[in-house]
Structure 1
């Protein structure tokens, strides 16, 4: 059986496209015939070779830069963005409990992961007001959340807070707002656990860490970027997921929680 995702020639903007999940998502959407704009903060080496793609740089913390990103996407493809995949994000590799975390780290993580998401969604909805009915028919926002947003993550409270805000603040709010702009518009989040990406590479080299991370995960595997990208494409599809709205979809191998680490002092 052949499934039509309904994404052929649909304009998809993927932020953080040079990362593991981002690049895999770009490749998946390309295979489905989508029109693609790939965002990155710096010029990447791994996003060459995608025919016709718009590759645009922007600092998601900056209002003008985000607005210019959407202008560049429209100018390159001569069509409005219909699907926004908010995939970019930072996670500090050095453990920092809240008691020791610097204000600079906290503010920068929220600026990138949360304020950046706000600026992108606002610009997306504003340009969607000018879109054709055909462009609006495929309208959706997909956030990339995290198990950290559901279960928390000790020593990475900045990251957990930013992801929880996307998953439980913006998703249920925006799914009620987007329909005022596009009557069939949808907003959902795909929320991975640990994924074998460059951002997680150093942590995943530690076998003991991986054992703890998977201790409550029945499938006992670290996800690949393709595992996540395929779910992003499915939820973006207006034909396969056209009645799925306001959902947090956990793509985490069935994780039930986290082990305490380091051990609690008694």
Structure 2
């Protein structure tokens, strides 16, 4: 039996597509025959060398830029977006407790990691209202969440708060709203733990940090971008996951929680 994902010629918009999980997701959907619009912020990078995809620049913090992104995607890639993969995000590399975090950092993280997804979903859903039945039939929003959204992350509470909002605020809310526009529309969140991406590269060079991060993970490995991208494709597939809606899918090797960070010195 051949496995058909039902994504041939489906228009997929992937945000933050220039590196890490985003770039691997582009390759995965391309192999499945989807029409891909790849969003980037400032540097298209390797996206420019991938044949058959449409690259569109946009600042997810800016309302007009996001609206233009969805319009441009439709104009350049054969019609409205059917599958929206909200992958972009920022994880400030400086370890900063809430007590020491300045408002500028907090506001920037929220603008990119939470306001950006809101603006993208709003523009996507508005365009979906006037889309064809064929586009609506495969309508799907997939957020890239994080174990930080489930367990929290000390010294990165700005990031954790935004991911939690996507996973436990927007996902269950939007899965009830999207069906008012597209009766078979779905909204889910795919939530990785640590992944070998450029954003995490420096942290993952610290062996002690990796050991601590994996301490409660039965599958003792850091995920690859392909681990996440393949799960996104499965959830996007109307053939494989057409009855999966409003779910938080943890792709974290079975992680059960976090050790105290920094470790306790108590005897």
Q: Same fold (TM over 0.5)?
A: yes
Whether 2:26 is the aligned partner of 1:30: answer no
> How many residues align structurally?
266
Pairwise mapping of residues 175-214 of structure 1 onto structure 2 (< 5 A)?
Answer: 175-214=175-214
Find the aligned partners of 2:139 and 2:58 in 1 and give their Cα distance. Answer: 22
Q: CA deviation digits over 1:44-63, x for unaligned, max 9? A: 22112322211000000000
1:89 to partner: Cα distance: 0.2
Residues 137, 185 of structure 2: 8 Å contact kept: yes
Residues 60, 116 of structure 2: 8 Å contact kept: yes
Task: Tell me which residue corresponds to 1:102.
Answer: 102
**Ranges in structure 2 where 5+ consecutive residues have no aligned partner:** none
Find the aligned partners of 1:7 and 1:190 in 2 and give their Cα distance. Answer: 18
Find the aligned partners of 2:244 and 2:179 in 1 and give their Cα distance. Answer: 13
Secondary structure (helix, strand or coil) at the match of 2:226 reads: helix
1:196 to partner: Cα distance: 0.1
1:130 to partner: Cα distance: 1.2
Task: Tell me which residue corresponds to 1:167.
Answer: 167
Find the aligned partners of 2:199 and 2:52 in 1 and give their Cα distance. Answer: 28
1:2 to partner: Cα distance: 1.9
Task: Tell me which residue corresponds to 1:112.
Answer: 112
Task: Tell me which residue corresponds to 2:139.
Answer: 139
Task: Tell me which residue corresponds to 1:229.
Answer: 229
1:138 to partner: Cα distance: 0.3
Secondary structure (helix, strand or coil) at the match of 2:52 reads: coil
Residues 30, 50 of structure 1: 8 Å contact kept: no
1:76 to partner: Cα distance: 0.5
Task: Tell me which residue corresponds to 2:250.
Answer: 250
**Ranges in structure 1 where 5+ consecutive residues have no aligned partner:** none
Task: Tell me which residue corresponds to 1:45.
Answer: 45
Task: Tell me which residue corresponds to 1:263.
Answer: 263
Find the aligned partners of 1:45 and 1:19 in 2 and give their Cα distance. Answer: 8
Cα RMSD (Å) of the superposition?
Answer: 0.9
Residues 67, 123 of structure 1: 8 Å contact kept: yes
**Higher percent of residues as helix:** 2
